[in-house]
Amino acid sequence: MEITDYILLFVCVFGAGASYFLIKKPGVYFLKLLLSFSGAFLFAITVLHLMPEVYSSSQVNIGLWILIGFFLQIVMEFFSEGIEHGHMHVHKHHSGAFPLTMMVSLCLHSFLEAMPLVSHAHAHDEIVTIKDNSLFIGIVLHHIPVAFALVSMLMASGLTKQKTLIYLGVFALMTPLGSYSSFLLSENTALNFEGMFDKIMAIVIGIFLHISTTILFESGNDHRFNLYKIVSIIVGGVFGILLTSM
């Protein structure tokens, strides 16, 4: 990846979270529709692009690593309280306190998702950019609503704007940090990183499958919102199909 790609990963996530302060009344429905779009997009590229890629590799029992990723996400959501797919639980009795376990889990989630970006480029001698890599776009689209939800929850918990921006910055750094860590590992010729890449990708596929299906199967309380959600899901799915067919 080029330096501009690392910067883009950080700016998109940080900018999305910081936009909370520019919107006087952040719309919960808008956030959920954006999550629906990104969930459908993630599901589409996972089924059409990522899964065929790992199953075409020489790795034995690659499906086991997908299951590991799926159940790892369940464990991480126990600590993050499901903020990855739009759940925001504000504990009033912890007002002003920093939710450490949630932040650690969310950062680990972001770090793992970004690891296959650079390893994919190294394995195929390509430069991954937003123009030619559906995984790159999928990660960005997924993290934009998550960053917004994170800031919303931290502010509702009673944290100051300054502290919230610091924690947002830490979260935004995890994606470029994860991809850069893959680059450092791939440069180590003593490691069989091509084989490691397939397993890491399978874990990320499991994470994507859990998050996307959770988003898609959740329903709203009113039929009008459900109609908007269906439209958002269809648009996200079509976008993913078009991107993977290019």
CA dihedral in degrees (164, 215, 246, 114; nearest 10)?
40
**DSSP secondary structure, 10-55, as one string:** HHHHHHHHHGGGG-SS--HHHHHHHHHHHHHHHHHHIIIIIHHHHH
Parts of the chain with a pLDDT under 50? 91-96, 120-132
- pLDDT score, position 21: 85
Mean of the per-residue pLDDT values of the chain: 79
For residues 100 and 163, give the distance between their C-alpha atoms in angstroms, rounded to a whole number.
13
Q: Which residue has the tokens 């300054």?
A: 162
Q: Are residues 106 and 171 in contact, defined by beta-carbon separation less than 8 angstroms?
A: yes
Q: What does the domain layout of the chain look like in residue ranges?
A: 3-244
Nearest to residue 107, comparing CAs of 131, 134, 138, 84? Answer: 84
pLDDT tens track for 54-78: 888 777 889 999 999 999 998 888 8
- pLDDT score, position 94: 47
Residue 177's identity, in one-letter code, is L
- pLDDT score, position 169: 95
Handedness of CA 150, 117, 130, 42 (dihedral sign): negative
Nearest to residue 108, comparing CAs of 170, 64, 46? Answer: 170
Q: Which residue has the tokens 């990522």?
A: 50
Q: Which residue has the tokens 């750094």?
A: 173
- pLDDT score, position 172: 94
Assigned token pair, 171? 């979260």
- pLDDT score, position 188: 65
- pLDDT score, position 127: 40
- pLDDT score, position 123: 45
Residue 31's identity, in one-letter code, is L
